[in-house]
Amino acid sequence: MLPLNGITVLSLEHAVAAPFATRQLADLGARVIKVERPRSGDFARQYDNSVHGESSYFVWLNRSKESIALDLKSEHGHLVLHKLADRADVIVQNLGPGAAARLGLSAEDVRDRDPSKIVVSVTGWGSSGPWADRKAYDLLVQCETGLVSLTGTPDQVAKVGVSIADIAAGMYAFSGTLAALYRRQATGEGATIEVSLFEALAEWVGQPAHFTAGAGQQPGRFGAQHATIAPYGPFQAGDGHTVLIAIQNEPEWSRFCTVVLQRPEVAEDFRFTSNTLRVANRSDVNAVITEVFTALPTAELESRLAAARIAFAGVNTVSEFLDHPVLAARDRWRMVDTESGPVRALLPPIDMGAEARMGPVPALGDHTAAILTELGFDPAEHPGSVHSHHEARN
């Protein structure tokens, strides 16, 4: 039995942050009912068409959910929405500012009617403050938190290669919901939860924020090298393969110099005797390492690193990651159905003994008729609410 079996989540969601949170809940057994606009649905369905014609974002974020297509501007759609809300344990939304309130589903409205409800709002910049009405997309938040200024090379800033602000907010919405469900089990009291993309990512840049406040200057940009630990970054072996090494403490540094570089005197060099000094003399450290590494084939280099108990990794492409031997050996891949055919997907990283749910990715409105029937409505009386994804695309 999965831990969230019996929990119903109603989600008025789109894009990444809220769908990421609710997919984690679905993975753990919750029933997630996703409300979508007729004809177009969640606009993440149109982000790309790389997965058998489906969006990679949507396939990633929406497995194991039920999709109901509702025209929320219609009287019928509004009535169905509120019936669903009455039955839900958790209501999640990342609509635009004020939209939930206009639907009668603000946290205040919902919890005035039923204090046991858990209402989760994912916002961009927070529901109050000077930017409450301002649009927030992932890269905008990466920029405003200073993350983009930390990422890249000395000459060029770069964004993170995944939707990190959305993911951060989604994970806090997920963990906040779990905490609220735990408290409700003990006290019967629900919760009003708000997570903003900006504040979620602000927490994730906490270390460079403390560093900057303390040092009076922010860490530099060093590409794939660590900004405040050295040596910690990629180096090329003699056969052209790139190996990333990570030195975390002084005993590791000493072993690295003795066993890997086979130059124990480097560990005692006054320029390199602490991490702070190695960072200050990064170019000199890198020059010593490069001289040794470029004379060694990868197999010999990795053998020395393993003997010295130094952490190292190959700098993989995504294609290489997909074929990673650890994923294969640990049986992490499963097949998930989509309307265009099955796709391979990873089991979620939370392993609780019972295997996570890996249900189909729903087509738009896939469950509209079944849910309407369950609520006591005749689907034939709600023709404006029932549109398949195929109809929407044709």
The first and second tokens of residue 180, run together, are: 């609220």
Strands 232-236 and 65-69: unpaired
Cα separation of 338 and 361, whole Å? 5
The first and second tokens of residue 311, run together, are: 């952490």
**30: closest CA among 289, 357, 260, 275?**
357
Helix (H, G, I), strand (E, B) or coil at 153: strand
Annotation says 226 is catalytic: yes
Helix (H, G, I), strand (E, B) or coil at 137: coil
Say which of 78, 82, 226, 241 is annotated catalytic.
Answer: 226
CA distances from 362 to 5, 242, 247, 379 (A): 19, 41, 46, 18
In the chain, % helix, strand, coil (3-state, to 5) comes to 45, 15, 40
359: burial class by Cβ within 10 Å (0-12, 13-18, 19+)?
middle
**7: closest CA among 181, 218, 209?**
181
For tokens 């996570």, name the residue: 356
137: burial class by Cβ within 10 Å (0-12, 13-18, 19+)?
middle
CB-CB contact of 292 with 261 (8 Å): yes
For tokens 């086979």, name the residue: 262
Cα separation of 364 and 275, whole Å? 54
The first and second tokens of residue 33, run together, are: 């009912």
Cα separation of 251 and 186, whole Å? 48
Q: What pairs with residue 345 in β-bridges?
A: 334
**Which is it for the CA torsion 127, 133, 136, 142, positive or negative?**
negative
Instruction: Count CB neighbours of 276 within 10 A.
Output: 11
Cα separation of 225 and 59, whole Å? 33
**Which is it for the CA torsion 159, 163, 164, 166, positive or negative?**
positive
Enumerate the active-site residues: 226
